[in-house]
Structure 1
Amino acid sequence: MTRKNITFLVFLFLSTSAYSQLLNSHKATLADSLRGNIHSPYRTCYDVNFYNLKVKIDVANQTIKGSNIFQFTATKDFKTLQFDLFENLQIDKIIYENKALPFIRTHHAVFVSFPDSIRKNSQQKFEVFYQGKPKIAKNAPWDGGFTFSKHQDQDWITTSCQGLGASSWWPNKDQQADEADSMLISISVPKDMMNVSNGRLRSVDTHPDAYKTYNWFVSSPINNYNVAINATNYILFNDVYKGLKGNLSLDYYVLPEHLEIAKTHFDADVKRMLQAFEYWFGPYPFYKDGFKLIETPYLGMEHQSAIAYGNKFKKGYLGRDLSGTGWGLKWDFIIVHEAGHEWFGNNITTKDIADMWVHESFTNYSESLFIEYHYGKKAGADYIIGLRNNIQNDKPIIGPYGVNQEGSGDMYYKGANMLHTIRCIINNDNLWRELLIGLNKDFALKTVTGKDIIKYINQKTKIDLSKVFEQYLEHKNPPTLEIKKDKKGFIYRWNCDVTNFNMPLQVYINQKLINLKPSSNWQYVKASSFNLDPNFYINLKKI
């Protein structure tokens, strides 16, 4: 392609609605639009079926070299497609039918042209060969990348790239809307190291240059950011969980010096976590690929079937209770929270990261459900209410679409309290459980939008909760209920960003719990006292 073609491609992006949105956001860039525009014709023209990733790690120089085979099905006739790879990594060549393809690079986007039109429904493949020094994580997993660390003078290498992007270390279609249906991950490391990635270990190849290649196969669709490298002199121990779909293998990879404490610590929480979550959400989604915990030098990540664990074998969040209630110190936060993402995040995945509340709100609420299952409903409610001290109400939870941008971090604690509030509105625990199980069954291994989830909840509950979701997700503040006392009672109304907000709630009137249906108009209740049920997360404003 010529430079003239580059200009034309950029013009196409400038003309999209996603880029129009970008212009209104001082934080977004052209690179964000190239990455975040999931509706670009250069990305929607092909559906990834399979990745075959091969990476060799030069530990001393902190560099990588490898290739990735894209197997795909064309969704329409096309001649040019886009994939993604960070521009600091060099592309040596792209091979299709034994011939090199021309390509251009714009920021982290790579545009590849084929010699002839690729026909709709045809299945094709090409291989990208690349090398370079990947981004080094500054504060994994939040500011992620490659982590080159040591323990007891032994090299310890891991990856974490959620938010940053999997294209920071391997070439792929870097968006959540298209997941490979399966994947082979072949990682070559020095022979004194073991690499653990996602799925099942198929084989280990020994090479004359003192390297070994660990070949891991993932049999289920997988998010790009979940693909992981974990390499050191791990010790493996195993267990089995007898779950809803039979025996689930439990494989634990830990540092040799932590073997004994890991055996005790993991045994205390993993099986009871699975027991609680299979009750609330249905079967663990990845029986074929198994369940793994892998010790990492950073806190943790929900890498599919290969959860990164770095909570230092402590209860709570590094020994702290995020709720301040005491309930958060009865279990290991990373085991419970990151495993919760196997259902919400890995089984159900949002197409655009602007909708990441579907991942984080439900998973944060899963912590409360874990507590409820083992310690009772009040304990679970106390925990979720306690998390409110962490809510910032700084900006909307839903981010701008099409520009690779998440919304507020309130998607965790505020999002969980939104779900708890909605559960109280539904006021039917059997239906609530059926809803959670139904989500994981009907959207199993699919990518969704936030609107898909809201529509599903409305349909299953037969309650229109659209305005409730809109207020909590699209505006920075929760609903505000205004009340004013007179001599014989109280007047009350909603004062919210959403027009005609109509969320029902429960309040204590004269110490008796009753249902109210406030509107934007003043209503009157005769009472000497008016107190909100604390399970509802709203602002109560006395005027």
Structure 2
Amino acid sequence: MDHRPLRKGVRAAAALLLACGLLAGCAGGKGSGDGAEQVTRTGTPGAAGLRDPYFPRLGNGGYDVRHYALTLDYEPATGRLKGTADITARATQALSAFNLDLTGLRVDAATVDGRPAAVHRDGDELTVRPAEGIAARAGFRTVIRYSGTPRTLTHADGGREGWVRTADGALALGQPTGSMAWFPGNHHPSDKASYAVTVTVPEGLRAVSNGEPRERRTRAGRTTFVWRSTEPMASYLATVAIGRYETRTSRTPSGLPVHTAARGNPALLARIPKVLAWATEKFGPYPFSSTGAIVDPTVDVGYALETQTRPFFGAGTFDESFLVHELAHQWYGNSVSPKSWRDMWLNESFARYAEWLYAEEFHGMPVRANFDAAFADRANWAFPPAEPPSAADISEVPVYGRGAMVLHRIRQAVGDDTFFAILRGWAATYRHGNASTDDFTRYVEEEAGEDLDDEVWDAWLYGRERPTDPSA
């Protein structure tokens, strides 16, 4: 994500989640699948949350999702959505029940392995109780049919996520919690899966999602679009954009498909292959089977977002630096995803540092000049980037600017050859996986062959005070 010129934050979302019992320290109510020790002959309920440091009830325990097949039918005139989520998963324990995250929408029916299942709702938690228990390590298939008017989560600074209605359609954005506004699932970045998204809309509109287009058909005044993402994806990176977009497909010189849906700015869209070629040189092989963008200057949500393979750019956010930032996220944040929301700096520091590298190479702006500007900005010293004080701070300034300073301090400590090998090696080692801050510091020290506590981690990553000398 890049939240310039508006600082998005997640304060209103945090307030909403506090009311729903999803934030740390909250006394929200628990459903029947809250992970209590309700032992039965057929297993125990999976936990209703993954104990994320900032969103402990986000995500669910007891299973690992392998694939989402989402079928959506949307009517822009009324804002009504009908959906079916066909979820293929593997049990990580013997389950008598398990939970899914879903906000606002009504559940119309549920089955597990083809048999009707009971569903209990408690706020944003759905507890699904299958007719028979699920054995540990067994694969199982859950189908949830749901409907209603999806919610838009509005932040205190005007930023929005979830299901955002537009003049002629809608836009789905999920960071950090908005994905549960439009489909039920295990909505934590640690549970990545492949996706197939089928969207039916009135004829004349386009529906764009992640990955590659598989099919398009029109019948009785409505058009259905089918998209498929075969590489693992965290649910907050899934998107759907519905509207009267101009859609184009081209290829990079290396043959990578480029799928775009936009309202204007063809010149900058045409630069995607060149920026991607530069990023590939710096960060290693591109991790996905297509690239592109969704550009809609009529939508003002206050930020751009790295939605996988198809980053979104709204009002005031489609320029060269935003493009570099969101494409860099395809390596750092999308392919290498955070283990928890505390690890967000690993997403944003790399993407911001990519901007600095690009500005130096193409615009004569030395990385050191950007480092010095970030060092002088007192907002970057509000808290350590690896330890945001609360869920409301995970997209605030230090996560970006001070995080990028950490990377530059690593570069100064280990030298250019080792540093750029680390950039490429980190993306390759954790490709399509999840990683934490501890994973990163350990990886860097192993590659550098030295302890960086005194030189980097203590002062720059975890320190509470700004060093007196930016070179120290």
| 1:280 aligned onto 2:282 | yes
Q: State the SS of the aligned residue for 2:258.
A: strand
Structure 1 residue 187 displacement after superposition: 1.1
Q: Give the 3 Å change call, closer, same or farther, for CA 100–404 of structure 1 in structure 2.
A: farther
What CA distance in whole angstroms lies between the structure 2 residues aligned with 1:236 and 1:6?
Answer: 44
Q: Give the 3 Å change call, closer, same or farther, for CA 391–92 of structure 1 in structure 2.
A: farther
Q: CA RMSD in A?
A: 3.0
Structure 2 contact 105–146 (Cα < 8 Å) conserved: yes
What CA distance in whole angstroms lies between the structure 2 residues aligned with 1:19 and 1:236?
Answer: 39
TM-score under structure 1 normalisation?
0.72
2:294 matched residue in structure 1: 294
What CA distance in whole angstroms lies between the structure 2 residues aligned with 1:249 and 1:141?
Answer: 34
- Matching of residues 64-79 of structure 1 within 5 Å: 64-79=81-96
Amino acid at match of 2:409: T
Determine which of 362, 375, 386 is the counterpart of 1:398.
386
2:399 matched residue in structure 1: 411
| 1:206 aligned onto 2:218 | yes
Amino acid at match of 2:355: E
TM-score under structure 2 normalisation?
0.83
Q: Give the 3 Å change call, closer, same or farther, for CA 179–357 of structure 1 in structure 2.
A: same
What CA distance in whole angstroms lies between the structure 1 residues aligned with 2:94 and 2:240?
Answer: 36
Structure 1 residue 34 displacement after superposition: 1.4
Q: State the SS of the aligned residue for 2:152.
A: coil
1:310 matched residue in structure 2: 314
Structure 1 residue 230 displacement after superposition: 0.9
Structure 1 residue 20 displacement after superposition: 9.9
Q: Give the 3 Å change call, closer, same or farther, for CA 7–228 of structure 1 in structure 2.
A: closer
| 1:179 aligned onto 2:224 | no
What CA distance in whole angstroms lies between the structure 2 residues aligned with 1:349 and 1:358?
Answer: 8
- Matching of residues 123-522 of structure 1 within 5 Å: 123-138=139-154, 142-150=159-167, 155-180=168-193, 182-208=194-220, 210-242=221-253, 246-255=254-263, 258=264, 262-267=265-270, 269-286=271-288, 288=289, 290-296=290-296, 297-298=299-300, 299-310=303-314, 315=319, 332-375=320-363, 379-392=366-379, 393-399=381-387, 406=394, 408-426=396-414, 428-466=415-453, 468-478=456-466, 480-481=467-468
Structure 1 contact 174–224 (Cα < 8 Å) conserved: yes
Determine which of 112, 130, 140 is the counterpart of 2:128.
112
What CA distance in whole angstroms lies between the structure 1 residues aligned with 2:450 and 2:464?
Answer: 24
Identity of paired residues, percent? 21
Structure 1 contact 349–448 (Cα < 8 Å) conserved: yes
What CA distance in whole angstroms lies between the structure 1 residues aligned with 2:417 and 2:209?
Answer: 37
Q: Give the 3 Å change call, closer, same or farther, for CA 396–408 of structure 1 in structure 2.
A: farther
Amino acid at match of 2:197: I
Q: State the SS of the aligned residue for 1:144.
A: strand
Deviation track 1:357-392 (CA, whole Å, cap 9, x = no partner) reads 11011111111122233356x623223332345451
Q: State the SS of the aligned residue for 1:116.
A: coil
Structure 1 residue 312 displacement after superposition: 5.3
Q: Which runs of 5+ in 2 are unaligned?
A: 1-28, 39-46
1:327 matched residue in structure 2: none
Structure 1 residue 294 displacement after superposition: 1.3
Q: Give the 3 Å change call, closer, same or farther, for CA 48–403 of structure 1 in structure 2.
A: farther
2:5 matched residue in structure 1: none
Structure 1 residue 197 displacement after superposition: 0.5
What CA distance in whole angstroms lies between the structure 1 residues aligned with 2:257 and 2:89?
Answer: 31
Amino acid at match of 1:187: V
Deviation track 1:114-163 (CA, whole Å, cap 9, x = no partner) reads 2322122221101011111111254699431222222xxxx142122202
What CA distance in whole angstroms lies between the structure 2 residues aligned with 1:99 and 1:314?
Answer: 47
What CA distance in whole angstroms lies between the structure 2 residues aligned with 1:238 and 1:56?
Answer: 24
Structure 1 residue 8 displacement after superposition: 8.1
Structure 2 contact 84–143 (Cα < 8 Å) conserved: yes
Deviation track 1:171-211 (CA, whole Å, cap 9, x = no partner) reads 1101011101x210011111110101001110013232x22
Structure 1 contact 265–313 (Cα < 8 Å) conserved: no
Deviation track 1:303-355 (CA, whole Å, cap 9, x = no partner) reads 1111112355864xxxxxxxxxxxxxxxx122111111001010100121111
Structure 1 contact 51–183 (Cα < 8 Å) conserved: yes
Determine which of 2, 6, 9 is the counterpart of 2:34.
9
What CA distance in whole angstroms lies between the structure 2 residues aligned with 1:250 and 1:265?
Answer: 13
What CA distance in whole angstroms lies between the structure 1 residues aligned with 2:181 and 2:260?
Answer: 27
Amino acid at match of 1:226: L
Q: State the SS of the aligned residue for 1:76.
A: coil
What CA distance in whole angstroms lies between the structure 2 residues aligned with 1:293 and 1:445?
Answer: 20
What CA distance in whole angstroms lies between the structure 2 residues aligned with 1:21 and 1:166?
Answer: 17
Q: Which runs of 5+ in 1 are unaligned?
A: 23-27, 316-331, 482-531, 539-543
